[in-house]
Structure 1
Amino acid sequence: MSEEQETADEIGQLVDDAVKAAFEHVTNELQAARPDVFGLSMSGLGRCRRAAAYALARTEPSDPDLVLHGEKRAAHLGTAVHRMLLPALAHALGGTHEVPVLLADGSVSGIPGILDLWWPSKRAVVDVKTVREYKLDRVLVHGEEYEHRMQVGGYALAQDARWVVWLYLDRSSGQTVRVVEEFGPEFRREVWHRIWEIQKLAETPEYAPRDERGPGLSYQCDGCGWLRRCWGSTARSGESGAQAHIAVDEPAVEAALAQYAMHRDEEGRHKKLKAFWRAVATGGGRKPGTYGRWRYHFTKPGYGLDQKTIRKDYADRGVEVPVKEEAGRLMVRPAKK
């Protein structure tokens, strides 16, 4: 095709393809530098216990390509922020960044990891987590995530730290929320208990608990090297459905329906509570702004389809409104006796 025949869409598609190829290239380069991708590391301590058990037991992965290949854009953007920020942060605190550590857990190889930042004058482990804005909200309410707690606790054990610091950073704005905790005896016991639990589960990893919701409903499952081994041969990354094989008999289906009904009712209750607290916080002409640890604002008004007007317009012109088939709604009610 000559230059005169090229279209903007074709040029744009070439750019899209190049961006995809670039992220895949970065994935391949990073994985080549990690010789033990499927072994247990610090980052796996707080994740799904079955995945951790598979890793510690050296179970052959059923889906290695989910780990070794792909674009993994969010992860790479997080890595880029780390490479920019950590050296400067280490310089400002007087510390060392990207420190290899090894926790002796009684096994031959130990549990390896790479600590973001070691602050020796305070004996503090500092770990940077790049997230989206909504996760900053969760940290403000609930504190650090359990997965991150166990990971950084593992680093602290390996370094005999006194303090642990989680620094959550919104990668779109640079806003940060930090959590600081003394690494005392109770925290140490919590981490060791998790390690010992994984060691015990690794003896029979197929019976270890699943801590994630399965393909299509969990990012961790969608990128797990043991996806089909865990969820069955029909499991596909990004597609739900394999969860059905958990309900092997009528009592299991009954229990699943009961759980669905409970969470449905909780969802309705939480919607009402959200509406109430919204009215409390933003009503009465109160101006948006910062209030202690929280701030709020309203986005610009948007536009949605005016269904009533559209239907009237079609009816006036004698034309049927175009429709598409949709899946039926799931209705769960107590069975009639």
Structure 2
Amino acid sequence: MKFVDEAFIDVVAGDGGNGCVSFRHEKYKEFGGPDGGDGGRGGHVFALADPNLNTLVDYRYSRRHEARRGGHGMGSDMFGAAGSDITLKMPVGTIISDAATGQVLHELLTPGEVITIAKGGDGGFGNLRFKSSINRAPRQKTPGWSGERKNLKLELKVLADVGLLGMPNAGKSTFIAAVSNARPKIADYPFTTLHPNLGVVRVGPEQSFVVADIPGLIEGASEGAGLGHQFLRHLQRTRLLLHIVDLAPFDEGVDPVAQAKAIVAELKKYDPELHAKPRWLVLNKLDMVPAEERAERVQDFVRRFRWKGPVFQISALTREGCEPLIKTIYQHVHAQQQAEQMPAGEIDPRFAGEDEPPH
């Protein structure tokens, strides 16, 4: 299935039905009075967060979505039927915004969540509504109200705990295939990955986290080089970024430090907040470096890259170093989840008895 993470749609809720002017016509009742019913309300347009979907491709080719209008009122006190509602299924993580102003209207973050994106119009009043002691034969009625009409932009940002960042052929797809249930395409040429892949990493019983692999970045992505940086949006909701670096590139003239710096620069150009997220350095393809040279090459990279954060050495192909890495990732993600669930002002029990938690 083609991966589409952006689409524009028009949604039209149903108009309300018109009210009716009618009078009773029954034997032996010369002045039966009004009996015109109200019109029915128009159909609503709902959005459903469906965990079984991972693309907006259905809305790329089907742009207009219109609910049915309400039925008109009739005589004999009969009200019009309500118009049929329609439900649009969208992937979890979809952002719904106004196409003209860019204002965010809704975010679908919870599986099974249902929201109203366009409300149907109310039905008009029949003449039965206008009956009074001084107006016993009203001939007034009102038309139904119009339903809401909106031009919307749909933008998908996948929900993942950890995001993989790096150059093409850095080994991101090999890593996610080694540690999770994801099975992305893996080949020996750049840009094998053309769309984000999600994988669930099982650490233990009821212990897991979700990792996202996006297409590789290259220098100049902000100007459209390679696949551009459009897929970086899928890392904006992650709690941790893994910067995977190829420590043993095939081309002798390629400098891993220069490549890593280019990635960081592109990240900062795209979104300073994304650049400020916690980021760990993962030096990959350790199996292609002679054992006696590994320590020296790692130290040289860290020194020239001027890296002060966590550093991990792995081989995604042989899974060397992967197990300690995923356990450390889970501890970090789990601690962040607990911190987010803790009420404001409450002290983490790990720091009980201290004046303030360590920074």
Could you state the TM-score of these two structures normalised by the residue count of structure 1?
Answer: 0.26
Q: Larger % of helix: which? A: 1
Normalized per residue, the structure richer in strand is 2
TM-score normalised per structure 2: 0.25
Larger Rg: 2
